[in-house]
Structure 1
Amino acid sequence: MASPNFDFLSCKPYNPPSWASHLSPIPSHVFSLGHLPTPIHRWNLPNLPQGTQLWLKRDDLSGMQLSGNKVRKLEFLMADAVAKGADCIITIGGIQSNHCRATAVAAKYLQLDCYLILRTSKLIVDQDPGLTGNLLVERLVGAHVDLVSKEEYAKIGSVTLTNLLKEKLQKEGRRPYVIPVGGSDSLGTWGYIEAIREIELQLQSGTDNLVFDDIVVACGSGGTIAGLSLGSSLSSLKAKVHAFSVCDDPDYFYDFVQGLLDGLHADVSTRDIIDIQNAKGLGYAMNTIEELKFVKEVAAATGVVLDPVYSGKAAYAMLKDMADNPAKWEGRKVLFIHTGGLLGLFDKVDQMTSLVGNWRKMDIDESVLRKDGVGKMF
């Protein structure tokens, strides 16, 4: 029988990897929120370039309610919130934000209230947002939901919107702690610096002397690629990080991530350690039928379910780049980071219905008789 995990939900002093000890500021504490380490295994996608090996880091398995890459950032952000005496958390994102769902669950684990500002269409901003996907979990755990239109979000910005709610709560006597979009600030960056240490240890404990040449990940808010690229460049991994942006353009992310790294006094240029390509397609959280068909085909071929917003778009763009530029990838060992987001698929069921028609009514001949006691319903 497995022993109980008494570390889960505990807060402990944080000791950084030796190769990151020069960064500043270093977090003082970290909460144990994820089920870590997450596994790494071969991912046998078809049509890879000659000699290319593809591996998968399963950060989608870091939990269920509290799953995906956001958990790693929240381990540091929630520790900071508790240390500063917060009694509630504020964060912001899209209507199906994985980060907002993870934050709502983490807050409730730690007995904090959670206030979410969610971006949606102006046509339905005055209506009940429903219980689809991430919204179901957020509302079940009691998060307070404020809706804003995409137009209001673009005009006012996430920082001002969260500050408005912060000021309102402070006037009511609350002690709010604001977490930015995606948990992407310099503190949250430590989540994936720590993930690089985890990958290092997994490789060292292996028996096949595996070395990764490349790390591939979706880029939506910047904190994940900041930690991965910085950690990889400082550690023994030295793998090139390739990020596929699912919203804003690559130039935006090069600049944004540079700000995160400068906030840690890393003294490194993002353009030297990250290759960012555009994979947003129709726009954030919007999918072509080809992208959704790809998600379905990958699941049917390998059993790995990608989300439509992040990892699905990134993997789709990665394979397209491999097809267009095979020499760039031939013979390389590639680690793809699956950042979770399964619940986002529930928002795409109408688009995907035509892609998954594998069902039928069971054909049972009228002459077949039931045997007593077998299949009996009570």
Structure 2
Amino acid sequence: MSHDLTRLEAALARYPRVTLLEGPTPLQKLSRLSALPDMNGCTLYVKRDDLTGLGGGGNKLRKLEFLLGEALAQGADTLVTWGGLQSNHARLTAAVAARQGLACELILTQSGVRTDDDYRLNGNVLLDGLFGPTIHRLPQGAAPEPFAADLVEQLERQGRKPFVMPLGGSSPTGCLGYAACAAEILHQGNALGLQFDRIIVPNGSSGTHSGLLAGLTEARSSTRITGFTVLGTQEQAYAATLDKTRQVLQLLDDSTSLSGETLSIDGSQRGDAYGVPTEAMREATRLLASHEGLLTDPVYGGKAFAGLLASVRNGAFPAGSHLLFLMTGGLPGIFAYRSAYD
């Protein structure tokens, strides 16, 4: 296979990391979906990052391995982070704090789109409370960053040592988790005797996409990535992902450059706004569940998988292509979106 794994793994080894995963997540072929006529001879696989175990699983645990390594190296005793009411990152930060015996402060913001009880009380927000963090619910429209800054000052005055986890865990350090995932995927491809032509990911805070792209670039892999933005516009997601990928590459190897032409962002599946269900998302999540018995969330994975299906059906990939979809988890969100499936 055409890549340099040793180069990538040596770069990652320089950073503190706390193991939170139980080993590599499975890589599975979607045999029934791949056999459908409208898949145009493409073979679909999934990378099961919904099966990371701790706290209900999900992609944020990979980022938290490196963020927690940094936090413990600084002597932190409290993790502070923020996100929406249904934030997967907030849930997993609370779970990691519980596992490590650390205090945790979650700052949760209200949705301007969803106000129903399923969204406000079920899904991730229900699980958050089970892990025992202190939860701060901000009113609609309140900015979490200044609240977090004030909270950190208050904790420091109390003699605590807080460490701020960024939104989605998607700082350059957090993104190293997906550079490590890139190495894991390359190893698994080697074992299968194949190289993926394209990896498809949801793009929210851009950390998963940026980390993977940085890792593949550092490993000199020819595998391309397409991210379907679910949060910002296509232009916003492109700019944020390009900037973040370059920052991650600075951590890995400051001699490695990245051309903007390497970055592929698709805005066709975002819908009216972040978290707003689309008909394509509903069809994609139902198709994956009914043909493969697999569940993907309605906010991230559902929209990205809809994008993959649309691309394949439209002939974007030649017959014989090996396509890998990254299942990022977020399954508790399904229960918060019950009404979307009525």
Partner amino acid, structure 2, of 1:177: F
Q: Secondary structure at the match of 1:28?
A: coil
The answer (yes or no) to whether the contact 1:35–1:61 under 8 Å persists in 2 is no
1:195 to 152, 174, 181: 181
Q: Given the alignment of the two structures, is residue 225 of structure 1 paired with residue 215 of structure 2, yes or no?
A: no
1:19 to 7, 11, 33: 7
More moved, 304-313 vs 224-233: 224-233
The aligned residue for residue 16 of structure 2 is 29
Question: Matches of 1:270 and 1:315 in 2, distance apart?
Answer: 26
The aligned residue for residue 266 of structure 2 is 277
The answer (yes or no) to whether the contact 1:50–1:330 under 8 Å persists in 2 is yes
More moved, 27-36 vs 177-186: 27-36
User: Whose radius of gyration is greater, 1 or 2?
Assistant: 1
Post-superposition offset of 1:150: 4.5
Post-superposition offset of 1:305: 0.6
When normalised by structure 1's length, the TM-score is 0.80
The aligned residue for residue 12 of structure 1 is none
Partner amino acid, structure 2, of 1:164: D
Q: Given the alignment of the two structures, is residue 165 of structure 1 paired with residue 154 of structure 2, yes or no?
A: no
Structure 1 residues 149, 79: closer, same or farther in 2, change over 3 A? same
Post-superposition offset of 1:204: 2.3
The answer (yes or no) to whether the contact 1:200–1:236 under 8 Å persists in 2 is no
Q: Given the alignment of the two structures, is residue 60 of structure 1 paired with residue 50 of structure 2, yes or no?
A: yes
* Within-5 A mapping of 1:207-356: 209-235=193-219, 237-264=221-248, 265=250, 266=254, 267-269=256-258, 271-278=260-267, 279-324=269-314, 326-352=315-341, 354=342
Question: Matches of 1:124 and 1:189 in 2, distance apart?
Answer: 29
Question: Matches of 2:129 and 2:327 in 1, distance apart?
Answer: 26
The aligned residue for residue 372 of structure 1 is none
The answer (yes or no) to whether the contact 2:110–2:141 under 8 Å persists in 1 is no
When normalised by structure 2's length, the TM-score is 0.88
Partner amino acid, structure 2, of 1:195: C
The answer (yes or no) to whether the contact 2:301–2:328 under 8 Å persists in 1 is yes
Structure 1 residues 226, 160: closer, same or farther in 2, change over 3 A? same
* Within-5 A mapping of 1:65-76: 65-76=55-66
Structure 1 residues 322, 39: closer, same or farther in 2, change over 3 A? same
The root-mean-square deviation of aligned C-alpha atoms, in Å, is: 2.5
Post-superposition offset of 1:223: 1.0
Question: Matches of 2:279 and 2:329 in 1, distance apart?
Answer: 21
Structure 1 residues 122, 193: closer, same or farther in 2, change over 3 A? closer
Structure 1 residues 145, 329: closer, same or farther in 2, change over 3 A? farther
The answer (yes or no) to whether the contact 1:34–1:66 under 8 Å persists in 2 is no
The answer (yes or no) to whether the contact 2:17–2:66 under 8 Å persists in 1 is yes
Q: Secondary structure at the match of 1:31?
A: coil
Q: Secondary structure at the match of 2:55?
A: coil
Question: Matches of 2:240 and 2:316 in 1, distance apart?
Answer: 30
1:107 to 87, 93, 97: 97
Post-superposition offset of 1:351: 2.6
Unaligned runs of 5+ residues in structure 2 are: none
Partner amino acid, structure 2, of 1:233: T
Structure 1 residues 191, 270: closer, same or farther in 2, change over 3 A? farther
Pick the structure with more helix per residue. Answer: 2
The answer (yes or no) to whether the contact 1:115–1:144 under 8 Å persists in 2 is yes
The answer (yes or no) to whether the contact 1:66–1:106 under 8 Å persists in 2 is no
Higher relative contact order (CA 8 A, sep 6+): 2
The aligned residue for residue 77 of structure 2 is 87
The answer (yes or no) to whether the contact 1:311–1:340 under 8 Å persists in 2 is yes
Partner amino acid, structure 2, of 1:334: L
- How many residue pairs end up in the alignment? 328
The answer (yes or no) to whether the contact 2:20–2:54 under 8 Å persists in 1 is no
Post-superposition offset of 1:190: 0.8
Structure 1 residues 123, 199: closer, same or farther in 2, change over 3 A? closer
Post-superposition offset of 1:237: 3.6
Question: Matches of 1:301 and 1:19 in 2, distance apart?
Answer: 39
Post-superposition offset of 1:238: 1.8
Partner amino acid, structure 2, of 1:88: T
Structure 1 residues 222, 49: closer, same or farther in 2, change over 3 A? same
Q: Given the alignment of the two structures, is residue 146 of structure 1 paired with residue 136 of structure 2, yes or no?
A: yes
